[in-house]
Amino acid sequence: GDSVTQTKGPVTLSEGTSLTVNCSYETKQYPTLFWYVQYPGEGPQLLFKVPKANEKGSNRGFEATYDKGTTSFHLQKASVQESDSAVYYCVLGGFGDNSKLIWGLGTSLVVNP
Amino acid sequence: EAAVTQSPRSKVAVTGGKVTLSCHQTNNHDYMYWYRQDTGHGLRLIHYSYVADSTEKGDIPDGYKASRPSQENFSLILELASLSQTAVYFCASSDGYSGNTLYFGEGSRLIVV
């Protein structure tokens, strides 16, 4: 069946260092890929989405490329800030309606000043 | 001006008691969802609805009921609360189309004692 696997957290970094959160997916369909972010005390919110293979999404300095060849959608940021501390979810969608979203387990990022 | 609001934000309930979590959206979205968040499990879909007066089971519906009396309102009902239902619950809305964004509320923290 469809599935998403992402880096198991927590990931702890110092400000100014680079971030990669791995996300791999399995599906026989043609998904839309999402990254959602959840800040402490809030609900998840969309970071960005990419509906087409080989395209890149980006927002707030984060980016990810929808790589159909390796079935990956790794989240990267060149220089993290303390305010980036949050939980990041890789999500597989585009299958009919949004009741069929496949959520990764989330990766907690802690950025120390 | 939050578009998805949940109440209560926090609740302590007694085992065997009835709990109702409420959600209100002003996005004019047809679809609404209830998710449960637990450490190690990420987000799991409990119930959803795409039209008033109708609800659908998600991935973990056992022990929960849902009610959608209007497009704007969606409730999650625990008729007999159990310890295992201690979690954070999130309501979300979307226009339902494949690949589109979910908009989440801030969550309701439920502790069953």
Q: Give the model's confidence band at B46: pLDDT under 50 very low, under 70 low, under 90 confident, else very high.
A: very high
Q: What is the mean pLDDT of residues B58-77?
A: 98
Q: Cβ contact (<8 Å) for A98 and B94?
A: yes
Query: Which pLDDT value is given to residue B42?
Result: 86
Give the mutation candidate from B25, B39, B102, B109 for the A interface (greatest A CB count, under 10 A): B102
SS3 A63: strand
CB contact under 8 A, B106 and A98: no
* Paired strand residues for A23: A6
Average pLDDT on B92-99 reads 81
Phi, psi of A80, deg, nearest 5 = -85, 155
Whole-number pLDDT of residue B100: 81
pLDDT band at A42 (very low <50, low <70, confident <90, very high): very high
The pLDDT of residue B60 is 97
Average pLDDT (A30-59) is: 95
Report how far residue A93's alpha carbon sits from residue A80's, in angstroms, rounded to the nearest whole number.
27
Cβ–Cβ contact B34 with A under 8 A: no
- Measure CB to CB from residue A99 to each of B42, B44, B48 and give the nearest one: B48
Interface contacts (A, B; CB < 8 Å): 63
- The pLDDT score that the predictor gives to residue B22 is 98
Which token pair is B10?
């926090």
Alpha carbon distance B113, B105 (integer Å)? 25
Q: What is the mean pLDDT of residues A33-58?
A: 95
pLDDT digits (tens, 9 = 90+) for A65-88: 999 999 999 999 999 999 999 999
Q: How far apart are CA A19 and CA A109, in angstroms?
A: 9
Q: Is the peptide bond before A31 cis (omega within 30 degrees of 0)?
A: no
Which residues in chain B touch residue A39, judged by CB atoms under 8 angstroms apart?
none
In the block, which residue shows the tokens 């973990």? Answer: B60
